[in-house]
């Protein structure tokens, strides 16, 4: 699920979905972003200059109203997706000349 930008607060108005990447906003969205939805493990950095410079703010969750934060200021955006951290722990053993990896119930051999 990508990040969604909205021209109005409370996830209303014109909207666009963005996958991971860097974007210079066109005339339809430059200086108009007022809310955004950010799924888990995603982040959005809004810049007030079109070349990913100037004042910036990074958001990691849904924001229904950017007033007082960065309302109608964004000219470029960087969207990042971070892979969810694994909850499985791996163990590495050396037994009889072989390396054995145990991870979440699975076992593998390294030779």
> What is the mean pLDDT for each group of 10 consecutive residues in the chain (111 residues)?
93 94 91 96 95 95 95 95 58 50 47 41
Any idea where the domains of the chain sit in the sequence? 3-81
**What per-residue confidence (pLDDT) applies to 111?**
41
Dist CA 41 CA 72 (whole Å): 25
**What per-residue confidence (pLDDT) applies to 104?**
52
**What per-residue confidence (pLDDT) applies to 91?**
52
**What per-residue confidence (pLDDT) applies to 93?**
47
Dist CA 77 CA 57 (whole Å): 10
Residues near 24 by Cβ (< 8 Å), separated by ≥ 6?
Answer: 50, 51, 75, 76
3-81 carries CATH number 2.60.20.10: yes
Whether this model's pTM surpasses 0.75: no
Beta bridge partners of 21: 79
DSSP strand E in 1-111: where?
A: 3-8, 12-18, 21-24, 35-37, 42-47, 56-59, 76-81, 90-95, 98-103, 106-110
């Amino acid at each position: 699920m990508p990040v969604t930008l909205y021209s109005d607060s409370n996830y209303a108005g014109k909207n666009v979905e963005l996958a991971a990447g860097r974007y210079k906003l066109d005339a339809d969205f430059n200086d108009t972003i007022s809310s955004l939805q950010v799924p888990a493990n995603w982040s959005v950095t809004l810049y007030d200059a079109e070349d990913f410079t100037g004042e910036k703010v990074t958001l990691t969750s849904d924001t229904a109203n950017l007033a007082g934060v960065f309302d109608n200021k964004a000219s470029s955006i960087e969207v990042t997706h971070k892979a969810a951290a694994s909850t499985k722990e791996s163990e590495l053993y050396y037994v009889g000349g072989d390396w054995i990896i145990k991870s979440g119930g699975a076992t593998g051999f390294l030779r």
